[in-house]
Amino acid sequence: MEKLVITIAPTGNVPTKDRTPYVPVTPAEIAESVYECYKAGASVAHIHARDETGRPTYRKEVFKEIVDRIKEKCDIIIQLSTGARAGRTAEERGECITLAPEMASLTTGSSNFPTMANLNAPDLIEYLCKQMQAYNVVPEIEVFDTAMIANALALQKKGLLSEPLRFNLVMGVPGSIPASFKNLFFLVESLPAGAYWTCTSVGPLHPNLSMMAMAMGGNVRTGIEDNIYYEKGVLATNPMLVERVVKMAQALGREVASVKEAREILKLNRGEDSK
Ligand code: ZN
């Protein structure tokens, strides 16, 4: 089995300081949290930006400050979010792509979140794909249900995505595919041969599904974006969540990839600095 790539999702769009004091929201807090997670074993950072009031923002100045601060500390692979909660227009959603990060997220379909639609219409998805191609950004395909795998393959046929495809199987977000062992197995079986995949799971089965993903040869995402609790009644910090994944990997005999090794596994070929 290949070494394990651990992605840290430290912030997201939803967690607030009211709910957990451990969620990093300012660029300085996010960069520090990412650096702590890098030292703990994370090799990819999935980044959302917040404005001065703590609300999600699509503004590239904020993304740029976060990216610059992270790059001062470490060479972790940076993946910026083009998710639906921050921006509305295609240009807003894709604004962070113009910073030419190494990776960006791309959701290949729509679903419902509890209070809003996670709306990704075909023309928006195609726009984001074209922007990523223009700026040489590698997309991570966010799969909230099975149809999004099929949609990604259709985009590949159109020349808007190219191999190797990198998937993030997102489970347990209300309105999306539930987090269960059966569903993880089903999603993995539905992927094209040779695809890279990681597993994001929200809810109390997060450690279990992470373990299952690692045992199946997949990779793992963790972080406060997905789970504010470490276990029942105990709030998580981002490094705590990464450290638990590392311990589980050790128990399975699965080595954790360095950033340099993660770039090789993900086939990122931009030649960014890597120790
Ligand atoms: Zn996200």
Where along the chain do its domains lie? Answer: 6-266
pLDDT tens, residue by residue, 243-260: 999 999 999 999 999 999
Question: Which tokens go with 126?
Answer: 């195609």
Kindly list the protein residues that place their beta carbon closer than 5 angstroms to ligand 1, a single-atom ion. 81
Ligand 1 midpoint to CA 37 (Å): 16
Centre of ligand 1 from the C-alpha of residue 106, in Å: 10
CA of 12 to the centre of ligand 1 (A): 5
Taking the centre of ligand 1 as the mean of its atom positions, its distance from the CA of residue 135, in whole angstroms, is 20
Run of H or E including 187: helix 181-189
Question: What is the dotted CATH code of the domain comprising 6-266?
Answer: 3.20.20.70
Q: How many CB atoms within 10 Å of residue 54?
A: 14
Is the C-alpha dihedral spanning 189, 201, 183, 109 positive or negative?
negative
Q: What is the pTM of this model?
A: 0.97
Cα 23 from Cα 114, distance rounded (Å): 21
Task: Compute, in angstroms, the gap from residue 72 CA to the centroid of ligand 1.
Answer: 22
Q: Separation of 13 CA from ligand 1 center, angstroms?
A: 7
pLDDT score, position 275? 46
Q: Count other Cβ atoms within 10 Å, centred on residue 69.
A: 18
pLDDT digits (tens, 9 = 90+) for 169-184: 999 999 999 999 999 9
Using the mean position of ligand 1's atoms as its centre, give its distance from the Cα of residue 10 in Å: 9
Closest CA to 252 of 201, 203, 215, 204: 215
CA 24, CA 264: separation in Å to the nearest integer? 29
pLDDT in tens, the chain (275 residues): 999 999 999 999 999 999 999 999 999 999 999 999 999 999 999 999 999 999 999 999 999 999 999 999 999 999 999 987 777 899 999 999 999 999 999 999 999 988 889 999 999 999 999 999 999 999 999 999 999 999 999 999 999 999 999 999 999 999 999 999 999 999 999 999 999 999 999 999 999 999 999 999 999 999 999 999 999 999 999 999 999 999 999 999 999 999 999 999 999 987 676 54
User: CA-to-CA distance for 85 and 267, rounded, in angstroms?
Assistant: 29
Closest CA to 198 of 7, 60, 63, 48: 7
Q: What is the DSSP letter of 87?
A: -
How many whole angstroms from 48 Cα to the centroid of ligand 1? Answer: 6
Which residues on adjacent β-strands are paired with residue 57?
Answer: 49
Q: How far is the CA of 14 from the centre of ligand 1 (A)?
A: 9
The DSSP 8-state label assigned to residue 95 in this structure reads G
